[in-house]
């Protein structure tokens, strides 16, 4: 990355970049991409994501102001503006986010709607005829309208009104014309998706009174106007803020240091103190229970760690219960428990917005509903944001809920997102270590897939320490005397299952090794030497066990190996019966292991 990209007073996107619009390495890519240039504050492109993310930024500003602003020190005092089109307004994620923004009364948020009635297939009358003003009034927004997008004075007045409005976000409807000034293409869908063509461009320029043949023309007077306007105002505002912050740092050094750490995505000293250590226990603890305990400790150690669930807090165990955590609401903007309501997609986008505001956010739901959040998780990875997604009920643990609630392809699908760290810890201590790893990420989002049901807490004096989680996979139990004939690999709830099978095989004189593999992604980033030490290339008899689609496991079990996994959807029945039906029982693991050894 260009270290100079944020130097004030120099354009971070040059005219040359714009000339090379959509070409490799141009700073003017097809859609705005966060973190390559200054001034692009989120990656947008999938319609509706930008506005939904803006709600996270607005929540973030409220929280930051509540914690850090002090009398005479309005350190966080900005507004959030988002410009959106018909496409954004049609997308469900925008509705989810707008509904929550209205409920929270986010009066620091203004959406400017480019109401041009044109999308790709033509006029919006073919598919989008609702009363959008009524819709936003229903959400509890302040709805304003400017009938002519070129009426700068009226727009300025409307924005003034936004800044004066308390207790409600503002929705500003701007009636506009796509392809304005183009005599044959204005107000047509062609103006959205096709170049106007040389002749039409010339005619449009003529209608503006612009030199007709000049290309990429930016007259000096424009540069001067901007430099004297936004340039001067921006530099002055920046200087004033820097002075204010310098004084703040003298008066409130601890708070200032928090802000600095947050900005650099660092963790405060002692962030991992008091993390629990779970004693060996055959009955054990559910992944979600262990997670709840860890999260409550971390949120006390890290002031800016906050988040919530899409109405499943009591089930995900993500509620922050310690004294002073509090619910985030309009009248309590310093609360750390967010209630996203049943809006998984907006939740993930809001989590992105919080992270872009440099907070450390988490969002939670059942693993199955990660599908509803996936587009925003993908953008988290693309933007390299250290967001945290806590997904419980990671397999068939909620048996009776049946196949609509039992994830199958979700691990494979999340493992396929570049840069996303997916972790499925196998017992309570692996949950602790998973969090320890995730908290230290600065540029990668993470998914924690956690069990609903209790999993035995392994005796770490007998098996390897859970700190192996930091390598993605580790040898949990070694064949006595080394030199294994067979490797059993598992993640999550299947780790204790293969440990049981391992003990049985041992009794039958079979030398197996158990590898706990909570994260493919982390494992892939280890040295070849380490990976070969965990999965020695000469040990070809390998059996992976995971309550999920077998898709992709070939890479670890190889041609001679086998996977006990899911090839169909699950079913509605008590967990024990499902485990039997789908082969997640020690007998089956032992039988397949012996079969593989016999076929060697």
Ligand X SMILES: Cc1ncc(C[n+]2csc(CCOP(=O)(O)OP(=O)(O)O)c2C)c(N)n1
Catalytic amino acids? 344
Cα(588)–Cα(42) distance, rounded to whole angstroms?
49
Q: Sheet holding 360-366: strands in order across?
A: 337-339, 305-309, 360-366, 388-392, 446-450, 421-423
User: Cβ distance 300 to 326 under 8 Å?
Assistant: no
Block residue for tokens 């054990």: 284
**Nearer Cβ to ligand X, position 176 or 547?**
176
Helix 253-263 vs helix 49-68: angle between axes, to the nearest 10 degrees? 160
Alpha helices in 178-286 (DSSP H): 190-193, 198-208, 220-226, 232-251, 253-263
Mention every residue, 6+ apart, whose C-beta is less than 8 A from residue 67. 255, 303, 304, 334
Block residue for tokens 């709600």: 55
Say which DSSP state 292 is in. H
**Nearer Cβ to ligand X, position 119 or 170?**
119
Least distance (Å) between residue 149 CB and ligand X: 11
**Nearer Cβ to ligand X, position 276 or 375?**
375
**Nearer Cβ to ligand X, position 339 or 343?**
343
Cα(423)–Cα(306) distance, rounded to whole angstroms?
20
CA-closest candidate to residue 479, choices 451, 514, 444: 514
Residue 166 CB neighbours (<10 A):
8
Least distance (Å) between residue 48 CB and ligand X: 6
Distance of CA 185 to the CA centre of its chain: 39
Least distance (Å) between residue 125 CB and ligand X: 13
User: Cβ distance 294 to 339 under 8 Å?
Assistant: no
**Nearer Cβ to ligand X, position 12 or 188?**
188
Least distance (Å) between residue 101 CB and ligand X: 19
The neighbouring-strand residues paired with 488 are 514, 543
For CA atoms 451, 454, 457, 463, give the dihedral sign. Answer: negative
Least distance (Å) between residue 118 CB and ligand X: 5
**Full DSSP string of 105-150:** T-TTEEEEEEE--EETTEEGGGT--S-HHHHHHHHT-EEEEES-TT
**Nearer Cβ to ligand X, position 47 or 488?**
47
Distance of CA 317 to the CA centre of its chain: 19
Helix 344-356 vs helix 370-383: angle between axes, to the nearest 10 degrees? 20
**Nearer Cβ to ligand X, position 119 or 142?**
119
Site residues for ligand X per CB under 6 A: 45-47, 85-88, 91, 114, 116, 118-120, 178, 192
Least distance (Å) between residue 95 CB and ligand X: 13
Alpha helices in 283-403 (DSSP H): 287-301, 313-316, 344-356, 370-383
Tokens of 158: 């409307």
Least distance (Å) between residue 93 CB and ligand X: 8
Mention every residue, 6+ apart, whose C-beta is less than 8 A from residue 154. 146, 147, 148
**Nearer Cβ to ligand X, position 128 or 252?**
128
**Nearer Cβ to ligand X, position 135 or 540?**
135
Cα(62)–Cα(350) distance, rounded to whole angstroms?
13
Block residue for tokens 């197996």: 512
**Nearer Cβ to ligand X, position 127 or 330?**
127
Least distance (Å) between residue 375 CB and ligand X: 7
Distance of CA 298 to the CA centre of its chain: 19
Which residue lies nearest ligand X, judged by its C-beta? 85
User: Cβ distance 84 to 94 under 8 Å?
Assistant: yes
Distance of CA 104 to the CA centre of its chain: 21
Block residue for tokens 């066990």: 545
Least distance (Å) between residue 518 CB and ligand X: 32
Q: What is the chain's length?
A: 600
**Nearer Cβ to ligand X, position 380 or 516?**
380
DSSP-derived 3-state class of residue 457: strand
């Amino acid at each position: 990355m260009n270290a100079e990209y944020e130097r004030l007073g120099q354009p971070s996107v040059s005219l040359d970049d714009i000339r090379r619009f959509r070409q490799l390495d141009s700073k003017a890519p097809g859609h705005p991409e966060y973190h390559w240039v200054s001034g692009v504050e989120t990656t947008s492109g999938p319609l509706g994501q930008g506005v939904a993310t803006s709600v996270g930024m607005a929540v973030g500003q409220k929280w930051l102001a509540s914690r850090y602003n002090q009398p005479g020190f309005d350190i966080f005092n900005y507004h959030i503006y988002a410009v959106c089109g018909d496409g954004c307004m049609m997308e469900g994620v925008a509705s989810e986010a707008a509904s929550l923004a209205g409920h929270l009364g986010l009066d620091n948020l203004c959406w400017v709607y480019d109401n041009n009635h044109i999308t790709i297939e033509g006029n919006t009358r073919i598919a989008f005829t609702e009363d959008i003003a009524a819709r936003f009034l229903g959400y509890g927004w302040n709805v304003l309208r400017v009938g002519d997008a070129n009426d700068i004075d009226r727009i300025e007045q409307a924005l003034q009104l936004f800044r004066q409005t308390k207790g409600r976000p503002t929705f500003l409807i701007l009636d506009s014309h796509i392809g304005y000034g183009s005599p044959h293409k204005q107000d047509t869908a062609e103006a959205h998706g096709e170049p106007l063509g040389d002749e039409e461009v010339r005619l449009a320029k003529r209608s503006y009174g612009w030199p007709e043949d000049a290309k990429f023309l930016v007259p000096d007077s424009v540069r001067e106007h901007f430099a004297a306007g936004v340039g001067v105002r921006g530099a002055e505002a920046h200087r004033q803020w820097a002075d204010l912050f310098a004084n703040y740092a003298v008066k409130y050094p601890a708070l200032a240091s928090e802000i600095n750490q947050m900005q650099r995505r660092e963790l405060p000293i002692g962030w991992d103190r008091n993390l629990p250590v779970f004693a060996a226990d055959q009955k054990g603890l559910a992944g979600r229970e262990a997670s709840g305990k860890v999260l409550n400790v971390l949120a006390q150690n890290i002031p800016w760690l906050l988040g919530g669930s899409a109405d499943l807090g009591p089930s995900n165990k993500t509620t922050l219960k310690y004294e002073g955590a509090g619910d985030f609401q309009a009248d309590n903007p310093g609360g750390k428990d967010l209630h996203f309501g049943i809006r998984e997609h907006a939740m993930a986008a809001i989590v992105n917005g919080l992270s872009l505001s440099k907070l450390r956010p988490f969002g939670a739901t059942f693993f199955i509903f990660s599908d509803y959040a996936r587009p925003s998780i993908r953008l988290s990875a693309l933007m390299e944001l250290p967001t945290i997604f806590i997904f419980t009920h990671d397999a068939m643990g909620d048996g009776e809920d049946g196949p609509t609630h039992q994830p199958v392809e979700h691990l494979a699908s999340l493992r396929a997102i570049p840069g996303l760290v997916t972790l499925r810890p196998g017992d309570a201590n692996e949950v602790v270590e998973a969090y320890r790893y995730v908290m230290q990420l600065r540029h990668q989002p993470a998914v924690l897939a956690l069990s609903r049901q209790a999993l035995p807490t392994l005796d770490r004096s007998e098996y390897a320490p859970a700190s192996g989680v930091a390598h993605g996979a580790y040898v949990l139990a070694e064949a006595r005397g080394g030199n294994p004939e067979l490797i059993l690999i598992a993640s999550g709830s299947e780790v204790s299952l293969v440990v049981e099978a391992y003990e049985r095989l041992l009794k039958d004189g079979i030398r197996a090794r158990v590898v706990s593999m909570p994260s493919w992604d982390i494992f892939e980033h280890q040295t070849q030497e380490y990976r070969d030490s965990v999965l020695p290339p000469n040990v070809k008899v390998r059996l992976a066990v995971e309550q999920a689609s077998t898709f992709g496991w070939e890479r670890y079990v190889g041609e001679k190996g086998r996977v006990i996994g899911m090839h169909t959807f699950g079913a509605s029945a008590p967990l024990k019966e499902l485990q039997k039906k789908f082969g997640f029982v020690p007998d089956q693991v032992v039988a397949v292991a012996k079969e593989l050894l016999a076929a060697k």
